[in-house]
Amino acid sequence: MEASIRSVTLDYSNIDPSKHPARTGNLITKGVESEVLGATSFSPEDPFSASERIMCYVKRVVQRDGGGGGDVVTTAGRPGDMGGKGAVGGVGGRRNEVYRVNSGVEGVRCEVYGEVGLVRVDEGTEGGVEGNWGKVEGRFEGVETVYGYCNRKDRSRMGGGESKVLLKGGAKERWEAWENGIPYSCKLEGNSLSVGIFPDSRGMRWWCRENGGGKKRMLNLFAHGCGYAKAAKEGGMGKGTNVDIDKGWLELFDGGEGWDNVYGDAGEWVEKFRKRGSQWDIIIVDPPSSSVGKNGKRWSSLTDYPSLVTSLTSLLPSSGGTLVTISNLRSQSPSKFHDSVLKGIKEGGRKGTLNTVVGEGEDGGGMGVKKYIWDVE
């Protein structure tokens, strides 16, 4: 049976009342295809300006087959904690330098990563990259280097189409971009079309930092630029393992003692970890929508996600752990993805309760990324 959310409460009680009066409101959803499971930020009628909107956590999700009860509670942090362009937060008070900018042009997305900007033009958009650059050039004032390229439908296909085009400034391959007081290593080498982190994952990186304390251990599968590990380490996590099939991405993170970077196919390493009896308190899974491994085996998020989740259940302590499941597959509805993960947890002989939904926030850009955090018993 599919999951359904009945209602949501927006709790503004921790917002500075001198700037925004605390208030509470209810949003009644419309069944299993509700936007709540893909909730991004506050409703349009709230009093927050766009620059002050922040990612929301959706907690205590009501599940038909999981019982529970009570409303879904969405609690926002303080403006600036996870803010977009120019927001200040974290150690050192460095301004956020990772954000999306409204291009004003359909089919064109503008992103800034500190010194470097990207213009992503969807396939089929009239004018292509060069034809739209003049329309959005003003969005990159103060940005040293800007690249553009044709954006494929799914992030997993990046690199399979056009090469990037240098639109402004000199070529730049490696640099740092700050977010909430944390410097993230970025790179654009060769024909790579990915920087290493994504603006729509800011809320997830925030969660990793907030939950990194104590003696927890993290397994970060499909680690890419290791942004989640970097955030968790800054939050106090002392042990973890990153797994990625690209050595170049793993080189962006050096966690020091207690942290391991493992090169290779994530699925193959999961089986090795199971045989060794390895376990972690938090497991993050952020795979591509589809890919072909170096062994020629094809991965499909739509069909293979449940079995991957099942294999991960034994890597969480019997006393309970946290599983973070992320999907970039736009064609799969939030509720369908929820059910596929829950199926995998159950087939692993464990009980899963959806604890938190991390939204895309104003930087999401409608990419349809789903981020669900589960308590696994």
Per the model's pLDDT, the better-predicted residue between 183 and 292 turns out to be 183
Cβ atoms of 249 and 223 closer than 8 Å: yes
Instruction: State mean pLDDT over 34-45.
Output: 35
Q: Is the pLDDT of residue 91 over 70?
A: no
Among 14-28, 37-51, 165-179, the range of highest mean pLDDT: 165-179
All structural domains of the chain with their residue ranges: 1-79+197-377, 91-181
Six token digits for residue 373: 């955090």
Answering whether pTM is above 0.85, one says: no
Per the model's pLDDT, the better-predicted residue between 45 and 270 turns out to be 270
Residues 6 or more apart whose Cβ sits within 8 Å of residue 50: 84, 362
Instruction: State mean pLDDT over 266-292.
Output: 93
For 95-137, write each residue's pLDDT tens digit.
Answer: 678 888 888 899 998 999 999 999 999 888 999 999 999 999 9
Instruction: State mean pLDDT over 293-309.
Output: 83
For 206-221, write each residue's pLDDT tens digit.
Answer: 899 989 888 899 999 9
Among 63, 10, 71, 70, residue whose Cα is nearest residue 40? 10
Q: What CATH number should be reported for the domain whose range is 1-79+197-377?
A: 3.40.50.150
> Quick one: fold of 91-181?
Transcription Regulator spoIIAA (3.30.750)
CA distances in angstroms from 212 to 228, 238, 240, listed in the order given: 10, 8, 10
29 by DSSP, 3-state: which? coil
Sequence-ordered strand ranges (E) for 188-251: 217-221, 239-244
Rounded CA-CA distance 250/255 in Å is 11
- Report the pLDDT value the prediction gives residue 231, as an integer from 0 to 100: 95
- Report the pLDDT value the prediction gives residue 153, as an integer from 0 to 100: 56
Rounded CA-CA distance 247/351 in Å is 35
